[in-house]
Structures are given as structure tokens and as C-alpha cells.
Structure 1
Amino acid sequence: MTLAAGLTAAAFVTPAHAAELVMVDEKGCIYCEQWNAEIGPIYPKTAEGRFAPLRKIDIGDIDEAIELDRRVNFTPTFIVVEDEAELARIEGYPGPDFFWPLLDRMLRDVTDYAGEDG
């Protein structure tokens, strides 16, 4: 395979978006642990997880990691990021029955995410 053919093939498998979901957590956060138990194992297998892969950042490191709209005060905080800049966030973990619809709406509002139907 030539270099040009390889680059062309890579263009088809590379997503057109660069969104990711940043989870800001900290050691000892019981809500972070709850999210890790209830959502963490399945997140990468979901449409949301494929569209916006997860990156975890400790609350002490968040200011250097991405450009924030405002300070992170609570863990967990879930931030949709593109090009290292915040687009939207969910503060806290309200449980799976609320997390999934909130995340779906947030991704649809600030990215080109179309969910399972797109």
C-alpha cells in the first residue's frame, strides 16, 4: 500500500469530529465510584462512548488540561470537549436514569451527534 492510499484509507476510519467526554474526578468521591461501577464498563460500548470517548482527569489537574468556561467545583463533572475547549457540562452524577438522557441532549445540543438514529 502506498503512503497516499494509506492516508486515504485512514481518512475513512478517522471520525470527522473530535469530541470527547472528560470526567473530572477525585480520590474518595463516592459519586465518581458509583459512576465507575454503573456506567464506566459500558460507556465505551455505547453510541455516546463511540462518539465522545472518555478521558478522566483529577480535579487537581483540570485547569492545565482543558480550557474551561468556569471553575470545576464538584466531582464528578462531565465536560464535553472539542479541541481542548469546553462545550458543555453535567455537574454531579444523578444516576443512570438521568445521566444518559442528559448526556444525549448535551451532545446533540453542542456537537453533530445524532445518537443511535444517525
Structure 2
Amino acid sequence: MLPLGVRAAPPSGWRLMMVESPACHHCRAWHAQIGPGYATSAAGRAAPILHVDVDGPYPDGLALARRPWITPTFVLLSDGSEAGRIEGYVGQRYFYPVLEEMMRGAGLTLGA
């Protein structure tokens, strides 16, 4: 997570922004179950993860449909603009299928 008070530049390219909270049980589950392998997955290579605390700060220049308030929320970003959103953690079994469907729907091609 970004420490409070640190502002990042708007993300370029495709990114997956995970909005989370230290008190969030489902966020901790995602970190334990998905986090270790996300960067090497097809989805992780296509859209590297960007962690943001639900209370901010958010990177400058984001264009979101609305401010996330459920943790975790996964926002697919294309050059800083929201291209899709998953609110909540659907569990280890369904995370990648739901994420990859959202990515394909947004026009993001996943490699093998």
C-alpha cells in the first residue's frame, strides 16, 4: 500500500488498482491467496497491480466512475481512466475468471 501522504503520478498503460484497507479481512485473503502469483499471471503481466488505501491518497489525474468505498475494489485502468470495476473479493476460485472477463470486455488482450 502507498503510505498516507504519498501521491503517485497517474498510471500509464493498463493497470489494476486494488483499493484496500488494513482492517479488511477480504483484502488480507486476496494478498495471501492471489497476491503472491498475480505479477506472473497473464492478467498481472497485462495489468500490473497498483495498491491504494481506501482513504487515499489516490494518484493524481485518475478518471473514475465514482470513488471506491467497498474494500477491496479492483479498478481496471487504461492510462488512468476507469475501464472496469470489481467490488469485493469473489474468492480464490473465481477471481481470475471474473477479472479476465472484465479485462477482455475492456479490450485488453491477455497473453499466455
Aligned length: 100
- The structure with more radius of gyration: 1
Larger CA deviation: 106-115 vs 73-82:
106-115
Q: Does 1:108 align with 2:87?
A: no
1:9 corresponds in structure 2 to none
Q: What amino acid maps onto 2:108 in structure 1?
A: D
Aligned-residue CA RMSD (Å): 1.6
* Residue-by-residue CA offset, 1:31-90 (whole Å, 9 max, x unaligned): 000000000000001011000000000011165542210221200000000111111000
- TM-score, scaled to structure 1: 0.78
Gaps of 5+ in 1: 1-16
1:8 corresponds in structure 2 to none
Match of residue 86, structure 1, among 82, 101, 109: 82
- TM-score, scaled to structure 2: 0.82
Relative to structure 1, the CA distance from residue 75 to residue 62 in structure 2 (aligned partners, 3 Å threshold; closer, same or farther) is farther
Relative to structure 1, the CA distance from residue 62 to residue 72 in structure 2 (aligned partners, 3 Å threshold; closer, same or farther) is farther
Match of residue 69, structure 1, among 65, 68, 83: 65
> Which of structures 1 and 2 has the larger relative contact order (alpha carbons within 8 angstroms, sep 6+)?
2
Gaps of 5+ in 2: 1-11
- Residue 114 of structure 1, CA deviation: 3.4
